[in-house]
A and B are shown apart, each in its own frame.
Chain A
């Protein structure tokens, strides 16, 4: 009871005390290089396979499907297997036109994810301590939430890739690990049929 209340309160207060961590010049340089390396465009489509290991569950939860990114809308996440589910995580450009989500945690986890798949790491530096590394054509960024309260839910996010984002690993404080592998992530035109279909509200399940 106490732990779950602390967990939730951590979410509630997750941004209460911002500590400003400045990136070293080397880290800043590495971050710029990574952002230049990553092939990002305003609209992208790809597939994913996700493995989530929850300590309470007897077996990992494995899923796969299609993800789509639109600079103006956000992130579409369609699970094709083992269940059918489709959700759109929208960008809130300003609070007046944002739609309040049913789940407050959803927005706090989904927002950084949108920025990660967009390759927009600089923006993440406001809420995360970034630790970028480059080795040959591969790179890795470890994101640690700046706020302790946020770290009580998400301990770290690791992103690896080359010219594309390949893998995202979320380590939760509850020991749950979520590994998302992204494949065939490519840019598309704004009027691409599949992209439009992915962001169609009617297709949400």
Chain B
């Protein structure tokens, strides 16, 4: 084993040891909100996970039948629920009206506290006109519907009203299943929570195939099935992207193989280059785990792609080996080193920014390039054994005047400058994902049946303990009540619907105590024919002491809806969410009290994308500057300027073409521009530093690297997923422009 190979193995061993030492399970983040630099997001991962599962993982299944088919619908709902329960893609299924056992436990736990718990309507009446309570109750007792009034324990039905104020009235329940009606249709609802979408499973066990299968089953049974929820969209988008990448990837791999065999007349260079990239990606992952501890999947994807730049090192080394005579590896090493240092410094400079995405990309690509470079330098000399030959095209390369190079070089710069005046940005998430028609139709149909579905936007309340959260949520309620009055929202739901904060319970207790001591309560009993002694007895028995409700005890018996709204306590903070219904207007201008955050996930993602895009754009000039200062020491000011201008011109030219094509620039465009810049830097360094006798081999290496990049990533422009297509298009245009500039540069060498 040569010394170089031994060094390579030492390097690999060190990397493995350090990675194992720093490895932890959560190294790959998937939530895009974790890229936000604001402190408003949840600090606890566990709590965040619960929120995601509650809000992003829920799916609603609606089984619809004709009005007269109620019994059949109920039967089919049971069958459907069993089918859903047996699916591994779903974690839970709820479809019965209520868990009566839980209601009973909750009732029994709260009933002793009946003097301190009031419904919002009763609270308002006791505050304003307590005598109205007496009128209402007498009206019921004298009316036809006074059944079940407990004159002994709850004579004014305040507890009954409190307990039922948040339970929706369902027109009909058959065999425990609520049957909802809309015009001439009846329908049942099944609420499920999906397991996290596993992109590695095959299509047969996916949510989409389950949905398809159950829709057919429903039709066979005389019903129709509608499904809506974020997991379906996640799975659809991921499956679409995966299938496209697989197809395009397979196509590009085949063409790259053919190209390599034709040019190198051997498969070994291709295998070696692929191995170098693989080493680069692994080094990148290890680097991120060792230095940062974790990486976001978006940074991972961008980083892996940009690490593909490493193929340039491999091709330059291999093409240099094609030169006639003894191997002249030393000729190529300075350029390879310069290419590495300039690229690494450019990417490592991203780590100086305070933004997680940029930091992660910087570390990933920097470490990745070092890993690939070391593989090329240390392994390739003893591995690559290729037959040298003269290049047949070398005599046919045109000799052009320098203006042929300068004209497009300056032209792209000018075009870019003009286009920058017209640049428009768009980070709307809909640009990145267009839901398919079959999902949109179900969504629209469900919305027509159920007018008040909870919005994806919600309020997050935090506090140092349960009481502080409840108090803050209660303050938020008064703001939300005003929004309901203004018809901006149709309703809201939080744990304080059931358990008000202690100060409100004390206030309610005082209200009822005052009421029982007053004339109104006495007149009620008088009108029912009680004697004075009996009235005194009744009133005496109604006055109960104030009890402190144990929130955790209540939570253990609370219904599913409330348990889902309470997120729990973690790291000295407790959290709850308030869900809103029927939102008709923007709420971001709402002035919120401390500890309350309005969460609009869609908007947050758009804002983060926009923020990261702007940062990347602003950092491009900084990277140019870094490359300039690195190369200036090796090649001097004028050549260094010339090196930097080539990728700058390609980047600006690409940006101009994209803008003139009418595209609004987004994060994916900019990420691809970063890659175009990386490609351009390498091509510029190699084209400017190669000796005259090796220039045709350098040109071949550049052409091979360019063509493989074009085939590998440029074909992504054909994707139906806008984000992938944007990325591929920029890369395709950028690579072509860089290749043109590099080729023209070679053609003009020695002329100008």
Contacts and interface: CB of A to CB of B under 8 A. Distances in A.
Interface in A53-94: 54, 56-59, 61, 63, 77, 79, 82-83, 85, 87, 89, 92-94
Contacts of A168: 144
B661 interface: no
B151 A103 contact: no
Given A5-B107, A9-B100, A95-B171, A56 B151 contact: yes
Contact of A18 (B100, B151, B175): B175
A12 interface: yes
Contact of A89 (B100, B108, B141, B145): B145
Given A8-B148, A12-B107, A79-B142, 7 more contacts: A5-B108, A52-B141, A52-B146, A96-B451, A104-B164, A106-B145, A180-B144
Interface in B99-117: 100, 103-104, 107-108, 111
A30 interface: no
Interface stretch (A31-39, A130-138, A170-178, A183-191): A170-178
Interface of A: 1, 4-5, 7-9, 11-13, 15-18, 20, 50, 52, 54, 56-59, 61, 63, 77, 79, 82-83, 85, 87, 89, 92-96, 98, 100-107, 109-110, 113, 126, 153-154, 168, 170, 172, 174, 176, 178, 180, 205
A109 B145 contact: yes
A153 B147 CA distance: 7
Contacts of B181: 93-95
B142 A63 contact: yes
B55 to A, nearest CB: 23
B17 interface: no
B144 A170 contact: yes
Interface of B: 71, 74, 96-98, 100, 103-104, 107-108, 111, 119, 121, 135, 138-148, 150-154, 157, 160-161, 163-165, 167-176, 180-183, 450-452, 527-531
5 contacts: A5-B107, A5-B111, A77-B143, A105-B148, A180-B144
B449 to A, nearest CB: 8
A51 to B, nearest CB: 10
B169 A4 contact: no
Contacts of A176: 147
Contacts of A1: 108, 111, 153
B529 A58 contact: yes
A95 B180 contact: yes
A172 to B, nearest CB: 5
A15 B176 CA distance: 7
A9 B104 contact: yes
A92 B170 CA distance: 10
Given A9-B104, A83-B139, A100 B168 contact: yes
Contact of A105 (B139, B147, B171, B175): B147
B584 to A, nearest CB: 16
B170, B173, B182, B450: most-surrounded residue (chain A CB, <10 A): B173
B135 A110 contact: no
A103 B528 contact: no
Contacts of A92: 169, 171
B157 A103 contact: yes
Nearest to B97: A16
A205 B139 contact: yes
Contact of B529 (A17, A59, A77): A59
A113 B175 contact: no
A205 B531 CA distance: 27
Nearest to A56: B151
A79 B138 CA distance: 10
Contacts of A106: 140, 145
Contact of B147 (A50, A58, A89, A170): A170
A123 to B, nearest CB: 11
A7 B148 contact: yes
A16 B173 contact: yes
B100 A205 contact: no
A164 B41 CA distance: 67
A138 B146 CA distance: 28
A155 to B, nearest CB: 10
Given A16-B97, A52-B141, A109 B104 contact: no
Nearest to B112: A1
